[in-house]
Amino acid sequence: MIIITGIHKSGINIVSNLLSICTESLENTSPLYNKNNQIQNDNRNQIAMSINKTILKFAGGNWCNPPSEQQIASVGKRLGHFIKKFSEIFKDGIVKDSLLNLTISLWEKYCNNITSIIFCLRNPIDVALSLQHQNGLSIETGLQLWYVYTIRFIKGTVKIPVVVVDFDNIISNVGYEMDHLLTELGVSMLPQDLNYCNKELEKNHLNKYRQSTKLIEKLPEEIKKLYTLIRSQTFMYRESPLVV
Residue 106's pLDDT band, with cuts at 50, 70 and 90, is very high
Complete domains list, the chain, with CATH: 2-231 (3.40.50)
Write out the E strands in 23-150.
94-96, 116-121
Residue 182's pLDDT band, with cuts at 50, 70 and 90, is confident
Q: Is the pLDDT of residue 241 over 90?
A: no
Give the DSSP letter of residue 65: B
Share of the chain above pLDDT 90, in %: 48
User: What confidence tens digit (pLDDT) does each residue in 34-66 have?
Assistant: 555 555 677 889 999 999 999 999 999 999 999
The predicted pLDDT at position 72 comes to 97
Half-sphere exposure of 124 (CA within 13 A, CB side): 31
Mean pLDDT of 135-145: 95
Mean pLDDT of 126-142: 93
**∠ Cα 120 157 69 (to 5°):** 100
The predicted pLDDT at position 238 comes to 44
The predicted pLDDT at position 3 comes to 94
The predicted pLDDT at position 38 comes to 59
Residue 20 CA to residue 1 CA, distance in Å, equals: 14
User: What confidence tens digit (pLDDT) does each residue in 215-224 have?
Assistant: 777 889 999 9
Q: Is the pLDDT of residue 33 over 90?
A: no
For helices 69-89 and 100-110, what crossing angle results, to 10°? 60
User: What confidence tens digit (pLDDT) does each residue in 88-98 have?
Assistant: 998 888 899 99
Name 128's Cβ contacts closer than 8 Å, sequence gap at least 6. 137, 139, 141, 142, 143, 146
pTM of the model: 0.88
Mean pLDDT of all residues in the chain? 85
Asked whether the beta carbons of 196 and 211 are under 8 A apart, the reply is no
From 27-31, 128-132, 185-189, the region with the lowest mean pLDDT: 27-31
Task: Give the SS3 label for residue 8.
Answer: coil
Share of the chain above pLDDT 70, in %: 83
Residue 137's CB is within 10 A of a number of other CB atoms, namely 18
